[in-house]
Amino acid sequence: MPTASRPDAARIGIIANPVSARDIRRVVANASNLQVADRVNMVLRVLTTVASLDVPRVLMMPDRGGIRAMLLRSLNRERNLHHAFPEVEFLDMEPTSTVDDTFLAARMMRAAGVKAIVVLGGDGTHRAVVRACADIPVAGLSTGTNNTFPEMRESTITAMAVALYATGRLTPERALAPNKMLEISINEGERRDIALVDAVISTDRCIGARALWKTETLSAVYLTFAEPQAIGLSAIGGLLQPVGRREAGGLAVHLSHDPATRRLLLRAPIAPGMVREVGIAHWEPMPAGEPFPVALQAGVVALDGEREIAFNAGDRVRITLRENAFPTVDVARCMQAAAREGLFRLSSSTL
């Protein structure tokens, strides 16, 4: 099994969350749920693609949700059909079916020397990978609920871009993109966490059901980027003042449900099939490196759509935007470079 003692044993890692997109928002919004077989098929497409582009080994996170078992059966069956696959090795770890699996798998992949990690999951899964190892490039495949951070893209194309980078056909300067994140600090660093897309302040006093979807409990939304076509809580900012992923700075939106203090009502798609009215008091740019104090006295901080940190009266909560915080594989840029430079062309002598 791959360990830190075999740093040459892998070229890329794959972390596939078997239970992403199964939170309460899927129930209240009548949204679809990607089945295990669909996730396995996505992984198979990644594997056949990177094998065709000379990636020899892949490390994978084991799980108890059915992905490993179904994938192994599929690999055995499809190898008999003469499909080419890289050597697939599952990490030597005992899965617990919690986010700790993702933390541990990401750290083990980093120790094993992977060039990049392909992540199948939603915002929360990607956040967990970045939190564990922010220096390893991530390539995201969307299988979560709101899917704001990972872009919707065919896994074959993502795998082609990852292979270009992992095999050295494209340098980091040409293949990777820097990303912003939010750093959440309570009581001057006594507790810390991060968010890739949004940190939302809620008046709820307990974690409860982790997913956040009731707009009447929201007090403020802090965003790394805000796109008008996004779905989820970041759509609140995207429909007020769009901020791109690669643009400098972020956006802070302060909410109010009191007609006397709100400036306007905004209709926003906060979950699949769920457009809700949100009272807006005001909004302002978030320059990088400037701490924004949270005005609410007590409540919960939701990170990328899930309640994570409760705070009480007297706690000092600060939200700070960090730029160039972690790299991702820029799929569009990689494929454009490949087209311009003919990286996928074969000479007649190789045909």
Is the domain of 221 the same as that of 255?
A: yes
Strand partners, 16: 120
User: Does a structural domain hold residue 186?
Assistant: yes
Q: Does residue 51 fall inside a structural domain? A: yes
Q: What is the CATH number of the domain that holds 155?
A: 3.40.50
Counting the structural domains of the chain, the total is 2
pLDDT at 30: 55
Mean pLDDT score, 239-262: 96
Domain boundary, last residue among 169, 198, 218: 169
Q: Are residues 16 and 165 in the same domain?
A: yes
Strand partners, 243: 226
Based on the fold, state whether residues 220 and 144 are members of the same structural domain: no
The torsion region of residue 123 among left (phi > 0), alpha (psi -120 to 50) and beta comes to alpha
Same domain, yes or no: 121 and 248: no
- Strand pairing category for 299-303 and 317-329: unpaired
For residues 163 and 50, the answer to whether their CB atoms sit within 8 Å is yes
Q: Which amino acid is at 180?
A: K
Average of per-residue pLDDT across 47-76: 95
How far is it, in rounded angstroms, from Cα 122 to Cα 129?
Answer: 11
The 10s digit of each residue's pLDDT in 276-310 is 999 999 999 999 999 999 999 999 999 998 888 99
Q: Comparing 193 with 351, which gets the higher pLDDT?
A: 193
Whether residue 243 sits in one domain with residue 147: no
Average pLDDT, the chain: 90
Query: Is 49 within a domain?
Result: yes
Degrees (nearest 5) of the Cα angle 271, 276, 281? 115
Q: Is the pLDDT assigned to residue 26 strictly greater than 60?
A: no
User: Which range is least confidently modeled, 75-79, 198-202, 327-331?
Assistant: 75-79
Would 137 be classed as within a structural domain? yes
Kindly state whether residues 46 and 161 are assigned to the same domain: yes
> Which segments of 80-154 does DSSP mark as H helices, in order?
99-111, 123-132
* Local confidence band at 9 (pLDDT 50, 70, 90 cut-offs): very low
Q: DSSP 3-state assignment of 84?
A: coil
- Mean pLDDT of all residues in 135-154: 89
Residues 262-286: what's their mean pLDDT? Answer: 94
What is the Rg, in whole angstroms, of the alpha carbon atoms belonging to the chain? 21
How far is 301 from 184, CA to CA, in rounded Å?
9
pLDDT of res. 24: 44
Q: CA-to-CA distance for 287 and 285, rounded, in angstroms?
A: 6
Same-domain pairing of 131 and 206? no
Mean pLDDT confidence for 14-26: 69
Burial 221-259 (b: 16+ CB within 10 A, else e): bbbbbbbeebbbbbbbbbbbeebebeeebbbbbbbbbee
Structural domain boundaries, residue 243: 181-324
Q: Which of 301, 315, 208, 199 is nearest to 253 (CA)?
A: 199
Residues 163 and 18 in one domain: yes
Average pLDDT (200-223) is 79
With 90 as the cut, is the pLDDT of residue 210 above it?
Answer: no
Q: Are 308 and 118 in contact (CB under 8 A)?
A: no
Q: Are residues 228 and 283 in the same domain?
A: yes
pLDDT band, residue 21 (cuts 50/70/90)? very low
- H/E element holding 75? helix 67-79
Tell me phi and psi for residue 43, to 5 degrees.
-65, -45
Single-letter code of the amino acid located at 157: I
In a domain, 3, yes or no: no
pLDDT at res. 272:
85
Q: What is the mean pLDDT of residues 225-246?
A: 95
- Last residue of a domain, which of 136, 169, 202? 169
Those residues with Cβ within 8 angstroms of residue 312's Cβ, 6 or more apart along the chain or in another chain: 298
Q: Please report which confidence band the pLDDT of residue 33 belongs to, taking 50, 70 and 90 as the band edges.
A: low
Q: Which of 287, 25, 304 is nearest to 150 (CA)?
A: 304
One-letter amino acid at 195 equals: A
- Distance, CA of 306 to CA of 210 (rounded, Å): 5
**What does the pLDDT read at residue 10?**
52
**Structure confidence by residue, pLDDT tens digits, 109-131:** 999 999 999 999 999 999 999 99
Q: Predicted confidence band at 6 (pLDDT cuts at 50, 70, 90)?
A: very low
pLDDT of residue 2: 37
